[in-house]
Amino acid sequence: MEPLPNSRTEPDGSAVVRVLSYNVRSMRDDTDALARVITACAPDLVLLQEAPRFFRWRKKLARLAAASGQVVLGGGATAAGPALLCSLRATVERTEEVLLPLTPGLHRRGLATAVVRFGGARLGVLSCHLSLQKDERYEQGGMLLDRLAAMGVRHAVAGGDLNEPPAGRTFRRIAGTLQDCRATAPWGGEHTWTRTEPHRRIDAVFATKDVEVLGCGVPVGHPGVTETDLRAATDHLPVLAALRIPAG
């Protein structure tokens, strides 16, 4: 497997950025293995789903960030689960947690968002975990796109647990506006849910059309990422993308 490009800032002000999207199941599994996977992927941005939401959730999230060479950017319980971490390479403009409308009897959902800069490249960032219920999920997909459009940025990346595969109508709704990075430049493994049959790709990274996707997929075989750690860390597999963000 060809390695993904390393993070860097180009002479023209554009930036190559590594983005990792990862459902961490409230950090109920092997947090050391989780930190090792994140560290080995060397991300500039980590888009978490199912971050801790209850007792001492801020401390748990901060410990994961410190153990994996990141800092907490935003989200967590205040976004109903999605969270953002970033490397010290990022310059942070602003962050915002958005709670989505609550359907009685269903789990509360939210979005963790931020605007960051890498050199001359300015980027909107969004982490999501969409509903298990198909109609609510479809509405949330539209809200995700609306939120990105309202962030006032030319370039953006969104990632998360969509709870449906690429053939699903919510996945297709998002991919109709944004690039499905895995479909644009396949790299690594495909399926992110392998605990039951059939294996499925239900986690994804998306980017606006003018972002160049250099590779995207599950980092199976990536240096430092072991099968043992992937199995021990959480019940989902992560998605790693390398993106070239234009300046401006």
pLDDT digits (tens, 9 = 90+) for 18-48: 999 999 999 999 999 999 999 999 999 999 9
Q: What is the reported pLDDT for 227?
A: 97
Rounded CA separation 66/60 (Å): 10
User: Could you tell me the residue ranges of all domains in the chain?
Assistant: 8-245
Q: Is pLDDT above 90 for 16?
A: yes
Q: What is the reported pLDDT for 2?
A: 85
CATH of 8-245, one of 3.60.10.10, 3.40.640.10, 3.40.50.720, 3.30.200.20: 3.60.10.10
Rounded CA separation 126/104 (Å): 25
Mean pLDDT of the chain: 97
Q: What is the reported pLDDT for 201?
A: 98
Q: Is pLDDT above 90 for 220?
A: yes
* 197-218 pLDDT tens trace: 999 999 999 999 999 999 999 9
Q: What is the reported pLDDT for 248?
A: 84
Q: What is the reported pLDDT for 144?
A: 98
* 103-117 pLDDT tens trace: 998 999 999 999 999
| Long-range interactions of 111-114: CB distance < 8 A, separation 24+ | 111/79, 111/82, 111/143, 111/144, 111/147, 112/47, 112/48, 112/73, 112/74, 112/75, 112/76, 112/79, 112/82, 112/83, 112/84, 113/74, 113/84, 113/147, 113/151, 114/73, 114/74, 114/84, 114/86
Q: ∠ at Cα 181 (126, 43), nearest 5°?
A: 60
Q: What is the reported pLDDT for 80?
A: 97
Q: Is pLDDT above 80 for 1?
A: no
For the chain, percent of residues with pLDDT exceeding 90: 98
